Structure 1
Amino acid sequence: MLIHVKDGEYTKTIYSLIRDQRYADAVQLLNNILETHENSRAALSLLANCYFYSQDFINAANCYEQLTILFPSEEDYKIYYAQSLYQACLYDEAMKVTSQITEPDFQEKVTKLKAAIKYGEGDLMAAKSLVDSCPVDDIDTEINRGCILYKEERYEEALQKFMGAQQRTAYCPHLSYNVALCHYRLKEYNQALNHIAAIEEYGISEHPEMSVGMNTEGIEVRSVGNTLALHETALIEAFNLKAAIYYQKKNFDEAKDALTDMPPRSEEELDAVTLHNQALINVDVNPSECFEKLQFLLHQNPFPPETFGNLLLLYCKYEYYDLAADVLAENAHLTHKYLTPDLYDFLDALITQQTSPEEAYLKFDEIASKLSETLRKLTKQVDEARQKHDDSLKKYLRDYENVLERYIPVLMAQAKIYWDMENYAQVEKIFKKSVEFCEDNEIWKLNVAHVLFMQENKLKEATRFYEPIVKKNYDNMLNVSAIVLANLCVAYIMTAQNEEAEELMKKLEKEEEQLAYEDSDKKVFHLCIVNLVIGTLYCAKGNYEFGISRVMRSLEPFNKKLGTDTWYHAKRCFLSLIEVIAKNIILVRDSVIQECIVFLEQCEVFGRSIRTVNEQPLEQLQMHIGKTTVAYEARMLKSLLMKIRDA
């Protein structure tokens, strides 16, 4: 009997719990044993194993440390101790323990572990030197070289190493994940998804107890825990990568599904990458929780490298520039490690914009000039590679796309300074300077369309930019932003192309009817917003009776069309109507005012639970909930109209 206690059933129970991967129960039982038999070698060893298998590496390290003290001649315990420290990212401590292992039979293991430690520390030169001293024919050596190449951003070479290793061994989910990760970095998303699908299939067939996909289907299942078996399936890594791919492709619903498809775990069991991805993908739904998770991760060791930059960018997105500045100041030690020079300069310019738009513009201009120069060099390299049919063409194209992805946000931030000043002509000039790089970029074309639309004498040009966006999604126009469709319809009307506007609206109406047939509970606001914008246009031109009537019809039926955004457009028209009547600028028939009052009464009925503002997530003083509903504002507007009617 391994554990010397009076009741031999303990031994049987513990091994049964470990076999069933019920490590938490085994840990509790083993701790009970050690309270009365504190020097029990077998119990302490099993406890260390249970902690390690459940990925509680700190406690595993503590147990193995005790074992190395109690049994200093056992080199195995030193290896396990060092491995536990390494897994807990305590690299200095792990390296000290490896230097104490002198047994020749363990030196190959020690060298591999030292290489892993140096790799974790980011010391790639030392890691490479240690890997090169390992046996050439060892498959681990080839995989480790692939990992180093990946860290050096030599993704194609890393991919070759991983694929070579795949051919030499039985199916390994983690190796397949490495291959998928390289494809992801090379923006070969379909190939990456194929390897992820293979990991999923293997995990489901070999470990059906992992409950893959059950959360997404709405089936409540218990946590599978952070077991070694879960780690070996690479399912968590695969689903996180899948979510990242769909996020990059702007398919946010699929990205959310990927995170809920992964084996279920309680929130306290979630790894740092999953927590980061949950925060990022659900930021629009719950921004406050997103900020909390990212702030929490910053104080963990380690945390995903993207956490720092993403937290700062999200603070800027929600206009919490003071908080972004505070985070930068408090974490100066993270700046050089986790922010590229371009990203740091970009964030600095965004924060500066709040106090000095002129200085911020110059900072953006300096960043844009550097990136423009890089884009010109890459354009030249691409042209030369095409002429020579050079194999490096693919690399140059990928580099060009990566630099362009960094250039576009800088350009848009620079343009926004003048957009906020309503200096649309200057915004247009900024966009014209970037045409050589951005003429095929969808974000650039959309923003050019918007700035042309805002200049009434350039509506014809605006349609030429809006039309390709709409035609690209002609078979599924609900994929197009409602404001794009609305602006295009207005541009058609203002340039005497009424037939085109009617055709667009009929197509949109058919798609909404089809969607309502397939999913009667789903709210869709596209056609409603188009009609609201057109109604607003007529009101702006002084034709209030027609404009207001169109606005009112657009919100029928109220249970499906009344929402925060649609109410925003509608109430602006009513406020404008009340203002011009009060100033005796126009006269409106009593029947029209009565129709407006009836309409507002309906809004009051259906708008009791619809908020009129999307409050900032971190605001200290929240508005009273009773004054931020459609019902409240509808009553206020009705009261004003009744006063005008009875005056």
Structure 2
Amino acid sequence: MFSISARIKHGQFTNTIYTWIKDGNYKEVIGFLSEQIAANPNSRAGLSLLAYCYYYLRDFVSAANCYEQLVQYYPDVEQYHINYTQSLYQASLYEEAMKASFKIEEKFGSNSQTIKLQTAIKYCEDDVSAAKSLVDQISNDDPDKEVNMACILYKQDKYDESITKFNTCLQLNGFQPDICYNIALCHYRLKQYPNALKHIADIIEKGIREHPELSVGMTTEGIEMRSVGNTLTLHETALVEAFNLKAAIEYQLKNYESALEALTDMPPRSEEELDAVTLHNQALMSMETDPTEGFEKLQFLIQQNPFPPETFANLLLLYCKYEYYDLAADVMAENIHFTYKYLSQYLYEFLDAVITQQTSPEDAYRKFDEMSSKHTDSLRKLIKQIQEAKQSQNEEAVKKLTNNYNNTLELYLPVLMAQAKIYWDIEYYTQVEKVFRKSVEFCNDFDVWKLNVAHVLFMQENKFKEATGFYEPLVKKSYDNILNVSAIVLANLCVSYIMTGLNEDAEELMRKIEKEEEQLAYSEPNKKIFHLCIVNLVIGTLYCAKGNYEFGISRVIKSLEPYSKKLGTDTWFYAKRCFLSLLENLSKQVICVRDSIIQECLQFLTHCEEHGNNIKTIVEAPLELETLNPAKNCVTYEARLLKALLINITS
């Protein structure tokens, strides 16, 4: 971009504007200059400054419009043509940018700036061969040539070679945040997360040290900070890119709190100033707590040009996760060009099978089976190739083949689970078990596979011993941090212990959970913890199902004490099932319970009335237009109904 200092020194603009630009207050400059240019449309200095400010606010379309006017008014100034082309490129208007670059060559001849711009355009259009051909035209003395070659190697998935090139750039030119970020990105693609995090830490440390005004980490600490804007300084530090990459790594490692923290640590900006990648990552992070907002952001992004490539696939997968299959089908049908561009063949076939399942489970099962067969064939071939490479002591080949095997296995697991879910949904558990048995040779070491096998065995109600064999290793792996284990896994293991006569083991596990909950309650007194509550609920439900209502209901009541911490949407759902079952059997006079138990139930429901006013009984789907009546969609309302029914039946 051109320099503005000379014009300012000549006194063409006030010191106030100079200060605004120096401080990065581009919006103030734009507001002032817009009025001046309205009165004098062909003001060269005004348009130049306006374009400059738009560019560094990353409003590239507006910058391009300004430079287009400058090109018309001053066609012999080459720099205006270059800036116009560069603005079009940054606005992702690649075809228009390429045409503008050809006009520069026609009028002024070819130069390194034009070649670099054309290279960048071809790179973004995924025309790697054309980009490489253009890079070859750049002088070997130009330091950008090495950077461009490294970028092309990255695009060709040659990440190790790309890292070598980028490291050479750092050695020649010293630390550069953008180059350091590119190295971290290559390590991320290679799944070398510790190496990637090291480079990210270097970028962040330098950014904090040299630019405290960017307020890194202040939002996470709860300090209200004003937006730092999309300034040139922020862009040059690569802090936004570094924090987004850190969030992606933590997300892949399932450290969701750390991923969210990485997003809040980045320099604060208002929502309209956020880049597409940050907006996409925020959407993913908010899906568990506020899925409506998450969907809104993803839907907004796919209407922009361009958007992060992962957006389209993630939107479709999340639609399927929340069972909006019709919406997923509509989006695919309405955006066929995106389907070809952003979905791999594997992902297209997977989504097609998932959507088909809603109308024809048989066809869906067949599609999943075909995908499964392809992957199992590939896995067996890779196992054979790995063994041959080991025999020939080719360590490099072993490493590469093992990586291919793990990648194929990651693709196979979702297909297997989706195939098993078809039978799970119709409660055909023996057939689900058969599906899992076919995959034992590949998946035996995966915790997610073991967990699902354990659930299937548990649901058959005659294989509790076998279920224990799968649940137990998963729990013992995190025994020192027992609350990191899913509450339902702990509950099912306790039930399996009880059903196989291992009551002491069940009691020991429950004591362990209780001890850890007490420690957590001391360190985080306001945090709701449901593990022991759910374990007791499941055990209580088991006894109710076996007809021992007095013990079962007492266990359920005990599980929700204290109500302020244990009463929630899920816990109430399981508790009320037991009470409804009790009421049904009392009304049919199938069972008879002591008066003291009835009084205990009435007292329990009274407590639920008192504490359940703000607790929903049904969590509404995120994209539903009609909402439930809040006065009825709460625990208080349902507790009163149950209490009235109990009084009516027992009177």
Provide TM-score, normalisation by structure 2.
Answer: 0.97
Q: Does 1:622 align with 2:624?
A: no
User: What's the counterpart of residue 292 of structure 1?
Assistant: 296
What does residue 450 of structure 1 align with? 455
Deviation at 1:3, TM superposition (A): 7.0
**1:223 positional shift:** 0.6
Q: Does 1:392 align with 2:400?
A: no
The DSSP-based 3-state class of the residue aligned with 2:228 is: coil
Question: Which residue of 80, 95, 98 maps to 1:92?
Answer: 95
CA distance in 1, matches of 2:194, 2:24: 35
Please point out which of 498, 504, 508 is paired with 1:499: 504
Return the offset for 1:271. Answer: 0.6
Once the two structures are TM-superposed, the CA of residue 106 in structure 1 deviates from its matched residue by: 5.8
Structure 1 unaligned blocks of 5 or more? none
How far the C-alpha of 1:160 sits from its partner, in A, is: 1.8
- Read off the aligned partner of 2:454 and give its amino acid letter: A
Distance 1:536 1:433 in 2: 33
Q: Amino acid of the residue matched to residue 231 of structure 1?
A: H
Could you tell me which of 327, 332, 340 is aligned with 2:336? 332
Q: Does 1:488 align with 2:493?
A: yes
Q: Is the 8 A contact 2:78 2:108 kept in 1?
A: no
Match in the other structure for 1:44: 47
Rounded to whole Å, the distance in 2 between the matches of 1:142 and 1:27 is 37
Deviations 1:563-601 (A, max 9, x none): 111111111111111111111111111111111011100
Cα offset for 1:32?
2.4
One-letter amino acid matched to 1:255 = A
Partner residue, 1:537: 542
Distance 1:316 1:386 in 2: 41
* CA distance in structure 1 between the partners assigned to 2:389 and 2:19 by the alignment: 63
Deviation at 1:397, TM superposition (A): 2.0
1:220-619 alignment to 2 at 5 Å? 220-387=224-391, 388-619=393-624
Confirm or deny that 1:56 pairs with 2:45.
Answer: no
Paired letter, 1:467: E
Q: 1:547 to 1:644 in 2, by over 3 A?
A: same
Within-5 A mapping of 1:67-106: 67-102=70-105
Shift of 1:620: 2.6
SS in 1 for 2:614: coil
The letter for the 2-side match of 1:635 is R
2:43 and 2:516 map into 1 onto residues whose CA distance is 72
| CA RMSD across the alignment | 1.7
Give the residue type in structure 1 aligned to 2:516: E
* Mapped pair 1:197 → 2:201: yes
For residues 311 and 291 of structure 1, the distance between their equivalents in structure 2, rounded to whole angstroms, comes to: 7
Judge which range, 420-429 or 98-107, deviates more: 98-107
Using the alignment, how far apart are the partners of 1:541 and 1:413 within structure 2? Answer: 32
Q: Mapping of 1:208-227 within 5 angstroms? A: 208-227=212-231
Q: Distance in 1 between matches of 2:440 and 2:215?
A: 50
Please list the CA deviations of residues 337-384 of structure 1 after superposition, one character each: whole Å capped at 9, or x if unmatched.
Answer: 100011001111111101110010001111111111222222222223
**Among residues 8, 23, 33, which one is paired with 2:26 in the alignment?**
23
**1:99 counterpart SS class:** helix
Please report how far the alpha carbon of residue 35 of structure 1 lies from its aligned counterpart in structure 2 after TM superposition: 2.6
> Hey, what's the Cα distance between the residues in 1 that align with 2:141 and 2:401?
34
Q: What is the CA-CA distance between 1:9 and the residue it aligns to?
A: 8.4
CA distance in 2, matches of 1:32, 1:559: 59
Shift of 1:135: 2.3
Quick one: which amino acid aligns to residue 14 of structure 1? I
**AA matched with 2:520:** L
**SS of equivalent residue, structure 2 residue 229:** coil
Does residue 142 of structure 2 align to residue 138 of structure 1? yes
Identity of aligned residues (%): 65
Deviation of residue 621 (structure 1)? 2.5
Equivalent AA in structure 2 for residue 100 of structure 1: K
2-side partners of 1:140 and 1:407: how far apart? 41
1: CA distance, partners of 2:600 / 2:291: 39
Aligned to 2:178: 174
Which of 28-37 and 438-447 deviates more?
Answer: 28-37
8 Å contact kept, 1:55–1:228: no
What is the deviation of 1:137? 4.2
For residues 385 and 261 of structure 1, the distance between their equivalents in structure 2, rounded to whole angstroms, comes to: 45
Following the alignment from structure 2 to structure 1, what is the Cα–Cα distance between the partners of residues 462 and 104? 79
Alpha-carbon distance in structure 2 between the residues aligned to 1:132 and 1:105: 18
Q: In structure 2, how many angstroms separate the alpha carbons of the residues matched to 1:139 and 1:464?
A: 60
Paired with 2:403 and 2:266, the residues of 1 have a C-alpha distance of 31
CA displacement 1:208-242 (0-9 Å, x = unmatched): 11111111111111111111111111111111111
The one-letter amino acid of 2:127's match is D
Unaligned runs of 5+ in 2: none
Matched-pair contact (CA < 8 Å) for 2:533–2:566: yes
